[in-house]
Amino acid sequence: NAGVTQTPKFQVLKTGQSMTLQCAQDMNHNSMYWYRQDPGMGLRLIYYSASEGTTDKGEVPNGYNVSRLNKREFSLRLESAAPSQTSVYFCASRVSANQPQHFGDGTRLSIL
């Protein structure tokens, strides 16, 4: 039982490049989330998907897009990476809004 799996674990991009962060969960959870974590700041929500087929903006959505491909997978896309998007990205899931979230191990992304 892998839980929440994020790929890749590390990535370096140049400004203007695009990439997609992948997230998959095998716990049959309904809700999935993408967060970014920056030094001195709490986790901030980028986008979330309350259930398969729905996505909503979080606190810091600019510069990102998401796709809830199916119940298991929720991807985060950077269309034109900027240095301000250098961060550690976490994917999380939970079965319902009244349960704890389960987190992936994170993706450390650097944009030069």
Residues near other proteins, by CB under 8 A: 31, 40-45, 48, 50, 58, 90, 92, 97-106
Q: How near is the Cβ of 105 to other proteins at its closest, in Å?
A: 4
- The 3-class SS string of 22-85 reads EEEECCCCCEEEEEEECCCCCCEEEEEECCCCCCEECCCCCCEEEEECCCCEEEEEECCCCHHH
For 83, the 3-state DSSP assignment is helix
The minimum distance between CB 67 and other proteins, in angstroms, equals 18
Specify the residue, 7 or 103, whose C-beta has the smaller distance to other proteins.
Answer: 103
Taking the least distance from each CB to other proteins, the nearer of 17 and 105 is 105
Q: Compare residues 1 and 14 and give the one whose CB is closer to other proteins.
A: 1
The neighbour count for residue 40, using CB atoms within 10 Å, is 4
CB of 17 to other proteins, least distance (A): 25
